[in-house]
Amino acid sequence: MSKKIAVMGAGSWGTALAVLLSHAGHQVAMWDINPAHVSELKENRENRRYLPDVKFEDSLSIAAEPEEAIRGADIVLFSAPAQHFRSALSKAMPYLKPEMVAVNVAKGIEQKTLLRMSQIAKEMLPELRYVVLSGPSHAEEVGRLMPTTVAVAAEELALAEYVQDIFMTDTFRVYTNTDVAGVEFGGALKNIIALGAGISDGMGYGDNAKAALMTRGMTEMSRLGVALGAQEGTFAGLSGMGDLIVTCTSMHSRNRRCGILIGQGVSPEAATKQVGMVVEGMFTAEAAWQLSRKAGVEMPITEAIYNVINGNIDAKKAVSALMTRRRKHEMEDIYIK
């Protein structure tokens, strides 16, 4: 079942999926907003900047313009960073046809509007057939065809199953879901906790601290997600707990690497620059903090990380403040209900 797939954005993740899909026999055309980067991709037949040593299949072409990539496509895959998703969709809109399916793989919340990617898509193009793909999936492994499992979510199960059939390979297992909000919140919010895990590592704290941070961080992720329409069970799945585990523990994680540098005393600005790619958690922390205040949801870890990366509090003082909060029942949300 060979399909034509356009990939909008040639960072590490977009490139890894382009390689995966072309290796599976699909015709893939990849475009990027940076003309110099496009030229390098064409010349080198690999993404030396973001995913080195992963060669392109003959069925993976590089497009100079969005129209060239999207023309005749069955799937249009958006892999631009979350803060640029609106711009990427805007550039694609003149060439999108009703029968095309948009698959978004960006993980974040738009800062200015506090919208998830599906909400942006619905605002800009209400009839767009939208699917989100998320889960524990580092580009460095997917691009090298290492075993990976993800979830795809759409409001209509049949649409999620359509994308599942196209993306499924013997190294890339895909599960379906209809909780778009839950899958998007899981993918976005875990980046904040991964920043915190990195800060903890950078400060020299141990496994106990990281385990506590991840566990209570998951509580916060679920708490905000459910308050804003997500299903609680989704956060125990691939886009929640699965993505949280891999992002908090792997050195492939930009968010964790950035956090380690901050924990070692590097300024957030310098740490982000040193990572060399977009660190989504730096943007999502502020958006999640604002959403929590609007929704009246308590998120002390998220608030602490937001304050640390914005220079409002020293990391050690933030840890002390979290450790000395009032005594609570572990299952307080359920216990009080």
Domain boundary among 143, 178, 213: 178
In this predicted structure, the answer to whether residue 50 has a pLDDT above a threshold of 70 is: yes
CATH code of the domain in which 94 resides: 3.40.50.720
Domain boundary among 159, 178, 197: 178
Q: Which residues does 134 contact at the CB level (< 8 Å), separation at least 6?
A: 105, 107, 150, 151, 153, 183, 184, 186, 187, 238, 239, 243
Q: Which of 190, 210, 317, 328 is catalytic?
A: 190
Domain count within the chain: 2
Q: List the domain range (segments joined by +) for residue 194.
A: 181-336
Condensed to tens digits (0 to 9), the pLDDT of residues 83-121 reads 999 999 999 999 999 999 999 999 999 999 999 999 999
Tell whether 119 and 187 lie within a shared domain: no
In this predicted structure, the answer to whether residue 239 has a pLDDT above a threshold of 70 is: yes
**How would you classify the pairing of strands 46-47 and 51-55?**
antiparallel
Tell whether 38 and 172 lie within a shared domain: yes
Question: What is the overall mean pLDDT for the chain?
Answer: 96
Rounded (5°) CA angle 40-42-46: 75
Tell whether 263 and 205 lie within a shared domain: yes
Percent of the chain whose predicted confidence (pLDDT) is above 70: 99
Q: Is 190 a catalytic residue?
A: yes
